[in-house]
Structure 1
Amino acid sequence: MTMARLSAATWSLSAIAAGVLLVGCSASVNVGESEKKLSAEKLSGIVAEKLAATTGQPKPNITCPEDLVAKVGNTTRCKLTADDGSTLGVSVKVSSVDGDQINFDIKADDTASPAAN
């Protein structure tokens, strides 16, 4: 029975990864004049919203470890954690900066990592 639950969670993560890879996902955010970065907390929320909108799945649990600095080419790695504890890496890369607006691309990894025992 545990196996079925794990498979369903893994399937959900795979569906998210496939949806993001097939459709592509990007976002843009305005930041204040004095701050040319997007906080890790705000980035986590935006990535979760974009993944949910792109895949048609519920908003996932996303954590990003650091702020995203507004410089083209900068990247960070966020983590999507499923209810069963399995995880999926998500890359975020700044594609352009226009004044206070940061545009970035979001790409989920192809495969999930199983939950730690």
Structure 2
Amino acid sequence: MPRWSAVGSVLLAAATLISCSVPTDKTVSKERLQEQITEEVTEQSGAAPDSVNCPDGLAAVVGATLDCTLVDQREHRRVSVTVGSAQGDQVDLFIVQSIGKGTVARQITEEIGRRIGRAPESVTCPADLKGDVGATVRCMLTDRGETYGVTVTTVDRGELAFDFTVDEQPQ
């Protein structure tokens, strides 16, 4: 199998910083987090997600992080929310989406199919790809009975996307 290096489709919005006011108890409520994520995703993509679910509220302490789940077109994605700053009742939140492992595998399969005229037998990824530029995940591609490693890396080309490279030699 030849070596491929290709650009996957743009699937993520860039990491975003939003500000919101929180009650004096210094916690961003579960409902407020879900609302903020929904608004941000809707603004960036032009369509609201099917649902957003956060397991709890988030302490308004710099560096505090919470992972929520976003469902869009039956695909579950992780969304990490981190407190960037907190002064008085004002909190800045960083929201970073991930690309679902199934979406990454499907996009790699489709891109290889376009480039060589046929899709590999399978592509699987062990985890979602984080939306942070430089984040990586190592996937596996099977074709004609041989398995190859695939390195997938989040990149920024004005919009967030991913590149992938298939190992030259099977494992």
Query: Structure 1 length normalisation: TM-score?
Result: 0.71
Q: CA RMSD in A?
A: 1.7
Instruction: Supply the AA of the counterpart residue of 2:60.
Output: A
Number of residue pairs the alignment of both structures matches = 93
Instruction: Supply the AA of the counterpart residue of 1:50.
Output: E
Counterpart of 1:27 in structure 2 is: 18
Measure the CA separation in 2 of the matches of 1:105 and 1:89.
14
Matched, 1:112 2:100: yes
Structure richer in helix, relative to its length: 1
Counterpart of 2:79 in structure 1 is: 90
Counterpart of 2:71 in structure 1 is: 81
Matched, 1:41 2:17: no
Measure the CA separation in 1 of the matches of 2:32 and 2:40.
12
Instruction: Supply the AA of the counterpart residue of 2:17.
Output: S
Q: Residues 113 and 41 (structure 1 numbering): CA distance in 2 closer, same or farther, change over 3 Å?
A: farther
Instruction: Supply the AA of the counterpart residue of 1:74.
Output: A
Shift of 1:98: 1.3
Specify the SS of the correspondent of 1:66.
coil
Query: Structure 2 length normalisation: TM-score?
Result: 0.50
Measure the CA separation in 2 of the matches of 1:113 and 1:81.
14
Which 5+ residue runs of structure 2 have no aligned equivalent?
1-8, 103-171
Counterpart of 2:90 in structure 1 is: 101
Per chain length, whose mean CA-contact separation is higher, i.e. which structure has more relative contact order (CA < 8 Å, sep 6+)? 1
Specify the SS of the correspondent of 2:84.
strand
| Runs of 4+ deviating beyond 3 Å | none
Shift of 1:88: 0.6
Instruction: Supply the AA of the counterpart residue of 2:86.
Output: V
Instruction: Supply the AA of the counterpart residue of 1:96.
Output: S
Counterpart of 1:7 in structure 2 is: none
Please say if residues 89 and 108 of structure 1, whose CA atoms lie closer than 8 Å, have aligned partners that are also in contact: yes
